[in-house]
Structure 1
Amino acid sequence: MNWRTGIVVLCIAALLGFLVWGLVKKGDSSLAIGEPVPVATLPTLPEGGEGSIEDFRGQWVLLNVWASWCGPCKEESPALDRFEEANRDQIAVVGIDTKDLNGDALAFLREFNIEYPQFRDASGDYTDGELKTTGVPESFLIDPEGNLVAHYPGPFKDEAAIEAFASPALDDAASPGETEGSS
């Protein structure tokens, strides 16, 4: 083997090493099912007050991370809004706008007539650092105790996909009055 072939082999080996390391590191970076969802105080939209996911403790929460510049976020937004309207007594839908300009986020909320609670993470420190998101949109199903039940990276195609994702919450909300053996 000449020196040029050796350098090429060494470069390929280094590249493969970095790829494997990146995949291993990425695999450890997401929140685990059953793990408590980290909380942080964030600005609210559109009011500009402050709040936290902790404000919804005791309720099921579908937390959706989005950005106004995200095409798939725009596509899934109407279905999320319809889902929220139909199921607000069973589950709280909460949005977090990330890595966005305030004016653009507010325009997005107006354009899609979104009225469910919204937080703003302009820097992405909470969504990337604490929630460990990999992109937008990304959704999390959180139980009433604040633990992660399910994670959905990417856009929901329609309301049926959202209902399937949120089924643990919807099933739980439908069952409190039922007793064993009742139909």
Structure 2
Amino acid sequence: MILYLLRHAATQANRDGLILGASDPPALPAALAALATTCRPLAGRGIRRIYASPLLRATDSAAVLARVVGAPWAILPGLAELSAGIFEGRPRRAACLPGRPLRRDWTDRPDGGESMADAETRVGQALEAIRPALVRGPAAVVGHAVVNRVLLQLLFGWPRQELLAFAQPHGAVAAISATGLVWLDPVTPGPGVQP
């Protein structure tokens, strides 16, 4: 099993430091161009299928990846980013204390939003839809910061508290296999789980 895990290309709201959650702005053209460059090494890795969140920033990014690797892509609603509830559209610095994430633990649910525990069922259903493709060869997922953490927890059972600090920059690509996760691009990820 090899699954390539991407975080979507950045949006203007990301660059402005806003919390997006389930809101749906498109990716920036310059960020999509940079993603195409980052994804070039994936062209020879035999990716047979790409799965994406239904949010524009992820579908924009999946379309770029599909052009680079020549694979079909499909939307899986279960890969949508978690709702940040009342914090959506607000500046991250106003919603989070310095050094603290929006969600302090796996069950922390912002008012009107989702916790990571809430999302496990829908992300698990998406993972079950992806598993048959993994039997046939490598596949890719284009997701989001928080939903990718939930996906990693379901795949590996990594400590949830450590995954809260797991950082995947916009446009970063990781290869996931039975032995863990390996970063494939020059972006240095932030603190968090490094199997």
TM-score range, shorter chain: 0.3 to 0.5
Structure with higher strand content: 1
Point out the structure with max Rg over C-alpha: 1
TM-score, with structure 2 as normaliser: 0.31
TM-score, with structure 1 as normaliser: 0.32
Bigger relative contact order, structure 1 or 2, given CA contacts below 8 A and separation 6+?
Answer: 2
